[in-house]
């Protein structure tokens, strides 16, 4: 699921000003994120490590069933990057959560570009990790999205998964995805708040049939499952090389998407580059236990057959003008309880925003939303 687009106004210099007056001076180079020294030692004593045991998630080797939240826009910083969605008060956000809660967020290369200079600037992403560490919270970092949302809105097609991710610099991004993977994992892999990595959110190696590339206008190569499997194998192996012990999430939407439909999902799920499989559930579009080919119950059975957990990494329902927040809490609470009995390993709401729109029908979850009271982990 893609976050709300955020438009920034660009002020044009008047023609009589010299070009150098148009641009602010380049900032000093950003220092590296501090390594795990004395400060990190204290954090590591208080922040448990997310892990996997069979088909369960664990915290410090104890089985848990977490209810977390997606907060895709945490790295938005209007003074630095173009952002995506509203800017979040990081200390307020992390401080409002129960200790050791799990937050999934966008750690895209687009958030590491200074909008004034066009140069790499890690200020915003560093701040997310530092704030999470201060408050003893856990992060799942998603490195890019399949549809380019919150990046450049360019869809990643079959050719990208077949090798373009290592060679192509997509429109407006600072580097290839392979280079960004290396950059991100080297920089933040040592953070005690890092719970795990997702290479691509909702990967789908299809191809566009027309210029709109709407999901109804895409084709699927016969070799798409093998292509996706190789991508997860190789990208996962690289993350493990740089960050041994990291938990790797598949990013799957979980339905019948190209490359993972029906029985294909199980072959992809067996990738050594994946520890936790995903399913994304939206009340208006899905139902429980789901259809027999691509529904949640089928996906639970398939992940169990390969001995891995299945996390409902996105669960959302529209509310506001169309339904009350309390009604949404009841519906999703019942859905989560049922998902747990079905054998899933946890669930994560979509999506926290600091500026919810109560007069509209949206998936927004604001700071005072009743769903926020459900976040936390119970014994698995």
pLDDT value for 178: 98
In the Cβ-directed half-sphere of 44, how many Cα atoms lie within 13 Å? 10
pLDDT value for 380: 81
Contact between 145 and 207 under an 8 Å Cβ cutoff? The reply is no
For the chain (380 residues), the mean pLDDT of every run of 10, in chain order, is: 42 32 39 43 70 98 98 98 96 98 98 97 99 98 95 93 96 96 98 98 95 87 98 99 97 95 98 99 96 97 98 99 98 98 99 98 98 94
Domain ranges in the chain are 49-379
pLDDT value for 7: 34
pLDDT value for 134: 97
Here the tokens at position 208 are 């566009």
314 closest CA partner among 339, 341, 289, 343: 339
Here the tokens at position 116 are 């004034």
DSSP string, 74-126: TT--TTTS--SS----HHHHHHTSPTT-EEEEE--GGGGB-TTT-SB--HHHH
Which residues 6+ apart lie within 8 Å of 114 measured at CB?
A: 27, 80, 81, 120, 121
pLDDT value for 127: 99
Buried/exposed code over 311-344 (b: 16+ C-beta within 10 A; e: otherwise): bbbbbbbbbbeeeebeebbeebeebbeebbebbb
DSSP string, 345-366: --EEES-B-SS--TTSEE--B-
Under DSSP, the state recorded for 288 is: S
Q: Which CATH architecture has domain 49-379?
A: Alpha-Beta Barrel (3.20)
Q: For residues 26 and 3, give the distance between their C-alpha atoms in angstroms, rounded to a whole number.
A: 29
Q: For residues 323 and 317, give the distance between their C-alpha atoms in angstroms, rounded to a whole number.
A: 9
β-pair type (207-208, 218-219): antiparallel
pLDDT value for 214: 85
Predicted TM-score (pTM) of the model is 0.88
DSSP string, 41-61: HHHHHHSPPEEEETTEEEETT
pLDDT value for 44: 45
pLDDT value for 43: 44
């Amino acid at each position: 699921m893609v976050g709300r687009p955020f438009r920034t106004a660009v002020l044009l210099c008047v023609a009589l000003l010299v070009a150098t007056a148009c641009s602010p001076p380049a900032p000093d180079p950003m220092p590296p994120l501090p390594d795990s020294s004395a400060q990190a030692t204290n954090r590591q004593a208080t922040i448990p490590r997310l892990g996997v045991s069979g088909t369960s998630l664990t915290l410090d080797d104890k089985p848990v069933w977490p209810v977390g939240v997606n907060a895709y826009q945490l790295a938005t910083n209007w003074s630095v990057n173009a952002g995506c969605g509203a800017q979040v008060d990081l200390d307020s956000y992390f401080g409002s959560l129960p200790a050791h809660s799990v937050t999934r967020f966008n750690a895209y290369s687009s958030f590491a570009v200074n909008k004034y200079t066009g140069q790499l600037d890690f200020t915003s992403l560093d701040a997310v990790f530092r704030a999470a560490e201060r408050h003893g919270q856990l992060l799942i970092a998603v490195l890019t999205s399949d549809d380019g949302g919150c990046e450049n809105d360019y869809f990643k097609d079959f050719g990208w998964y077949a090798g373009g991710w290592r060679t192509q610099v997509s429109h407006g991004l600072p580097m290839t995805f392979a280079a960004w993977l290396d950059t991100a994992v080297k920089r933040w892999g040592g953070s005690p708040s890092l719970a795990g990595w997702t290479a691509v959110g909702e990967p789908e190696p299809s191809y566009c049939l027309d210029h709109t590339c709407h999901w109804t206008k895409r084709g699927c190569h016969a070799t798409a499952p093998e292509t996706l499997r190789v991508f997860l194998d190789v990208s996962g192996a690289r993350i493990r090389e740089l960050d041994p012990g990291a938990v790797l999430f598949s990013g799957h939407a979980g339905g019948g998407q190209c490359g993972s439909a029906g029985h294909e999902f199980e072959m992809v799920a067996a990738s050594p580059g994946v520890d936790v499989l995903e399913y994304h559930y939206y009340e208006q579009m899905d139902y429980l236990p789901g259809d027999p080919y691509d529904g949640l119950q089928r996906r639970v059975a398939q992940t169990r057959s390969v001995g891995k957990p299945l996390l409902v990494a996105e669960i959302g329902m529209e509310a506001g003008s169309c339904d009350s927040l309390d009604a949404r809490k009841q519906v999703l609470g019942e859905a989560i309880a049922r998902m747990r009995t079905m054998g899933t390993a946890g669930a994560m709401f979509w999506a926290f925003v600091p500026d919810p729109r109560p007069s509209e029908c949206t998936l927004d979850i604001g700071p005072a939303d009743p769903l926020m009271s459900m976040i936390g982990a119970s014994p698995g």
